[in-house]
Chain A
Amino acid sequence: KAGVTQTPRYLIKTRGQQVTLSCSPISGHRSVSWYQQTPGQGLQFLFEYFSETQRNKGNFPGRFSGRQFSNSRSEMNVSTLELGDSALYLCASSLWTGIMNTEAFFGQGTRLTVV
């Protein structure tokens, strides 16, 4: 069974640009979450999507947005990039059903560097 796949693995962008990151969840998983990992702040929750709807949102500015498609694949977008957006962006998927507890499986992440 394929794991969570994130593309691209590495990105270098210039301040002010925008970027789109992609995540393909494990087959059958309908919940997709995004996290930002930095040395200073650790792992911070960005948002979670389920059945194309955003269910949860973390404390990030509106420049950070996401969406989920009907096949459960998800994208996140960061507009007007700032140097502080340099981070490892992690995607996680889970088999959330609303009935039983589930665990999240993480992708390898996209390393974004803003210069």
Chain B
Amino acid sequence: AQSVSQHNHHVILSEAASLELGCNYSYGGTVNLFWYVQYPGQHLQLLLKYFSGDPLVKGIKGFEAEFIKSKFSFNLRKPSVQWSDTAEYFCAVNGDGNEKLTFGTGTRLTIIP
């Protein structure tokens, strides 16, 4: 069965700090990986996705993630966070033509001005 682990439940950073959120997955087949963000009171939005090819993917708002197959990881990074990045971040996986997404438990990110 597929699963996703996000080890950081709540991260607090100051503006301009660098960010890295961990995501590890377990999946038996060809994997697609996603990071979604949920700003307070808003719907889930896609930050970035990995289907194949270059393991370093760039998304919106300056976020990037690196797929490391040997470590089953897809960590999210941003070199300099802003107060507006305060939100909850979800890592998700699907694959093999299956649209069902398995989500991690989410990481709440709080940015202090």
Using a CB–CB cutoff of 8 Å, the interface residues on chain A facing chain B are 3-4, 31, 33, 35, 42-43, 45, 48, 50, 55-56, 58, 90, 92, 94, 96, 98, 101-109
DSSP class of A's interface residues: helix, strand, loop or mixed? strand
Give chain A residues whose Cβ lies under 8 Å from the Cβ of B45.
106
Give chain B residues whose Cβ lies under 8 Å from the Cβ of A96.
99
Greatest chain A CB density within 10 A among B46, B99, B104 is at B99
Give chain B residues whose Cβ lies under 8 Å from the Cβ of A35.
101, 103
Interface residues of B in 1-55 (CB under 8 A from A): 32, 34, 36, 42-46, 49, 51-52
Give chain B residues whose Cβ lies under 8 Å from the Cβ of A98.
97
Give chain A residues whose Cβ lies under 8 Å from the Cβ of B43.
3-4, 90, 106-109
Using a CB–CB cutoff of 8 Å, the interface residues on chain B facing chain A are 32, 34, 36, 42-46, 49, 51-52, 90, 92, 97-106
Q: How many A-B residue pairs have CB under 8 A?
A: 54
A101 with B32, Cβ < 8 A, contacts A96-B99, A109-B43 known: yes
Q: In the docked arrangement, what's the CA distance between A55 and B100, Å? A: 9
CB distance from B29 to the nearest CB of A (A): 13
